[in-house]
Amino acid sequence: MSYERGAIEKSGEQRDQTGAKYGMWFFLFTEILFFGGMFILYSVFRAKYTQDFHLAAGEENLLLGSLNTAVLLTSSLSIALSISALKKENYRLSVQLQTATVLMGLIFLVIKYFEWTAKISKGIYPDSPVLLKMSAGQILFFGLYYVMTGLHGLHVLIGIVVISFMIYFTKTGNVTSGNFSKLENTGLYWHFVDIVWIYLFPLFYLIT
């Protein structure tokens, strides 16, 4: 009887983990539609104001953008390795790698903060007198820049908060080698955030 009960409980846990994964994939699908709509909008305006977009992109800091790309790609690796370490019951390493992911997420936001403040110091921000004197295409470029990178930054911040909870759950035994769906789903979300940036980077930094 105890064996059967254990098998039933294990089967129930597996169903819960599978359901959680399907739920995460559905959520990510809605996020893809959300960002996909903005990418389409960007493409339409870029086709209409090609020269203005190229001119406006000259204000982007390619070095900082490239650095942020490297940071996020490395963070994707660290969160993936943390899941692998958890499955091998190396909880300490998993926590360290999750912490590294959080730190890299914070570094990304700090770099983005300096990018934004540099533009704002030049008077380039929504509805500013400097921006309103620019061409329609340049105004649209910077409007899309602030909206799309701002929303992406918000997603990075949410990811940092969720991973911080995963660190706590791993330390307290709520997330284990036999119950890792929470961390795995968090990893999927973080990979999605990184993929969005991989699209944003060339759209705003590499069109000069």
User: How do residues 176-198 score in pLDDT, each as one tens digit?
Assistant: 988 889 999 999 999 999 999 99
What tokens does 204 get?
A: 């705003």
pLDDT digits (tens, 9 = 90+) for 74-93: 999 999 999 999 999 999 99
Q: Domain ranges for the chain, please list them.
A: 24-205
Q: State the pTM of this model.
A: 0.88
Residue spans of alpha helices (H) in the chain: 2-48, 50-57, 62-87, 91-121, 129-132, 136-172, 181-205
What CATH architecture is 24-205?
Answer: Up-down Bundle (1.20)
**Per-residue pLDDT at 208:** 61
CA distances from 119 to 20, 27, 68, 174, 204 (A): 41, 33, 17, 44, 14
pLDDT digits (tens, 9 = 90+) for 132-167: 999 999 999 999 999 999 999 999 999 999 999 999
Q: How far apart are the first and last CA of the chain?
A: 70
| Confidence band of 17 (pLDDT split at 50, 70, 90) | low
The identity of residue 190, as a single letter, is: W
pLDDT digits (tens, 9 = 90+) for 55-76: 999 999 999 999 999 999 999 9
Q: At what angle do helices 2-48 and 50-57 cross, to 10 degrees?
A: 110
> Residue 146: CA atoms inside 13 Å, Cβ hemisphere, count?
15
What are 179's strand-pairing partners? 176
